[in-house]
Amino acid sequence: MSTKTIKVGILSWEKYQERTLAIARGEFKPRAGDPKIYFPSLKAAGEILSEKNLELLRVIATRKPGSISELAPMVHRAQPNLTRTLRKMEQYGLIEMVPEGRAVRPVAKAAKLHVEADFNLAAA
């Protein structure tokens, strides 16, 4: 199992767009320790990083299922619902969906997540 840690941040959609454009214009260079994945809100992060989904990531990382249909009984989820959840996790960069013939194999991109949120409380 990978011991890689992914840093996750909370950043509004507007701030994320500003940051991305500043990077594209060469006005801002991300630091090595900056988050690699951003959620637009704590609510969005909470939905994707729920206890149930963190358990799903753990099972993917440790048991390495060969397909979604193999994973479904391991996590006691219906395959259509599981597929939707996995696609959303893939959009955020938490997993990779690897085509294997006619099947798709979910692969965890890290074994640990570090969540960082800046609420800009000093400005309040």
Residue-level pLDDT at 47: 93
Answer yes or no: is pLDDT of 122 > 70.
Answer: no
Residue-level pLDDT at 55: 95
Answer yes or no: is pLDDT of 50 > 70.
Answer: yes
Which of 84 and 114 is assigned the larger pLDDT? 84
Domain count of the fold of the chain: 1
Q: Is residue 124 part of a domain?
A: no
Answer yes or no: is pLDDT of 12 > 90.
Answer: no
Answer yes or no: is pLDDT of 124 > 50.
Answer: no
What's the chain look like in SS3?
A: CCCCEEEEEECCHHHHHHHHHHHHCCCCCCCCCCCCEEECCHHHHHHHCCHHHHHHHHHHHHHCCCCHHHHHHHHCCCHHHHHHHHHHHHHCCCEEEEEECCEEEEEECCCEEEEEECCCHHHC
pTM: 0.81
Q: Is residue 83 part of a domain?
A: yes
Q: Is residue 68 part of a domain?
A: yes
- Which CATH number belongs to the domain containing residue 31 in this structure? 1.10.10.10
Report the range of poorest mean pLDDT among 11-25, 32-46, 87-101, 107-121.
Answer: 107-121
Residue-level pLDDT at 119: 64
Residue-level pLDDT at 102: 92
Q: Is residue 63 part of a domain?
A: yes
Structural domain of residue 56, as residue ranges?
5-119
Q: Is residue 18 part of a domain?
A: yes
Q: Is residue 89 part of a domain?
A: yes
